[in-house]
Amino acid sequence: MRVVGLDPGLRHTGWGVIDVSGNRLSHVADGVVHAPTDAPLAARLVALFRQINAVLEHFRPDVAAVEETFVNKNPASTLKLGVARGVVLLAPAERGLPVAEYSANLVKKSVVGAGHAAKEQVQMMVRRILPGCEIGAPDAADALAVAICHAHHAATRRHWKAAV
């Protein structure tokens, strides 16, 4: 199974692709797509959608996992992030891919063991879980963590289903 993890952001959206075979995880690729900061919101969303679609087209994942939005103190920022997240959810769904969603705390707990882990801890654990992975940016590390989280939780759901 090939999983793409997505860490939504209006300026920078991280993506990470892993292959899952049983309990073995292997790094395929990661990166960040950037929306032009000087463009109107609608144009930024179009750029985000097209770049994510290019990643999906190139790597052909079987499933997508997206980090849920947390609420900021600034309602306007939260709303804009929510709009970007909608685009990030739409891109794989429009291609017919199943899309799973995970909270930031669950992602951190799944990868690091603590729901309030620092970004540096997440990056270090992603490198340990995916040996040889050279992470280009913190947003890409977060996206890989979302993919890892999905791989672990999907395996658990499969085991539960088989036991019933």
Query: Is 7 annotated in the active site?
Result: yes
Q: Where are the beta strands (DSSP E) in the chain?
A: 2-7, 12-21, 24-34, 63-67, 99-102
Smallest Cα–Cα separation from 111: which of 76, 73, 147? 147
Q: Pairing relation of β-strands 2-7 and 12-21? A: antiparallel
Cα end-to-end span (Å), the chain: 23
Please, are residues 2 and 59 in contact by the beta-carbon 8 Å criterion? yes
Choosing from 19, 38, 134, 139, which is the catalytic residue? 139
Query: Is 139 annotated in the active site?
Result: yes
Choosing from 30, 62, 67, 94, which is the catalytic residue? 67
**Which residues are marked as active site?**
7, 67, 139
